[in-house]
Homo-oligomer: A and B are copies of this chain.
């Protein structure tokens, strides 16, 4: 929990009241590798803040293939925001890639907290702004880079993640098959 408080305070103030409230709505949990936190089709009630480990969110397409939307490591949030903000059941699955410690929040509680504590709303707004920027960049990368270039960028941006993920996780994040990613890696070693 200190990680989250610290993260908030690193960019702005947070009243003691708000801090206490945040504690009161939080639940510390540990998930084992392979556990599913949110399952496609079910109602999404929770949002997770990762304090240790690695998780990912992904969906299945009509042929049953997986497509990774996001990886989350230390100090990242993860959930199915599509479901939460459209008030639908989950289109995404959130899976634990290695044993992870997370802080679980009920989306409703966080929502209420935003309205109660302007400091927290500011924090959330800033998080979202940065998130929009990174999603914009990802879209532009997808539009203009080759699979090989996207992989280079991925390795550069998430050096820590690669050790927890399988190749096909990364492939499905980059938008290529695992076979293609395998060939791309072979080429890199050669040159």
Report A's interface with B, CB cutoff 8 A.
Answer: 59, 61, 65, 67-69, 81-82, 85-86, 114-115, 118, 121-122, 124-125, 128-133, 135-140, 142-144, 172, 175
Contact = CB atoms under 8 A, between A and B. Distances in A.
The main secondary structure of chain A at its interface with chain B is helix
B69 A139 contact: yes
Contact of A144 (B59, B115, B118, B131): B59
22 contacts: A59-B140, A61-B144, A67-B140, A69-B140, A81-B129, A82-B137, A85-B130, A85-B133, A114-B125, A118-B121, A121-B121, A124-B125, A125-B125, A128-B128, A128-B129, A132-B132, A132-B135, A135-B135, A139-B139, A139-B142, A142-B142, A142-B175
Nearest to A83: B133
A87 to B, nearest CB: 11
Contact of A129 (B85, B130, B136): B85
Given A67-B140, A139-B69, A140-B69, A133 B175 contact: no
Contacts of A81: 129, 132-133, 136
A129 B124 CA distance: 10
Contacts of A115: 122
**Which of A118, A133, A140, A142 counts the most chain B CB atoms within 10 A?**
A140
Contact of A132 (B67, B121, B122, B128): B128
4 smallest CB-CB distances across A and B, nearest first, come from A128-B128, A61-B144, A135-B135, A67-B143
A128 B125 contact: yes
Contacts of A140: 59, 67, 69
A143 B128 contact: no
